[in-house]
Structure 1
Amino acid sequence: MDVSAIASTATALSQARVADAAGTLVLKKALDIQAASALQLLQALPTPAPASPSGSHLIDTYA
Structure 2
Amino acid sequence: MELNISQVSAQASAQASAQASLLLLKKTLELQASSAASLAQLAAPASTASNPPNLGNNVDLMA
**TM-score, normalisation: structure 2:** 0.71
Q: How does 1:1-63 map to 2 (within 5 A)?
A: 2-39=7-44, 42-43=45-46, 46=50, 49-50=56-57, 51-53=59-61, 55-56=62-63
Structure 2: 5+ residue stretches without partners: 1-5
RMSD: 2.1
Identity over aligned residues, as a percent? Answer: 13
Moved segments of 4+, more than 6 Å: none
Kindly indicate which of the two structures has a greater share of residues assigned to helix: 1
How many residues of Structure 1 are paired with residues of Structure 2 in the alignment?
Answer: 53
Relative contact order, higher structure (CA 8 A, sep 6+): 1
Give how far 1:45 is off.
5.7
State the structure with more CA Rg. Answer: 2
**TM-score, normalisation: structure 1:** 0.71
- 1:52 corresponds to which letter in structure 2? D
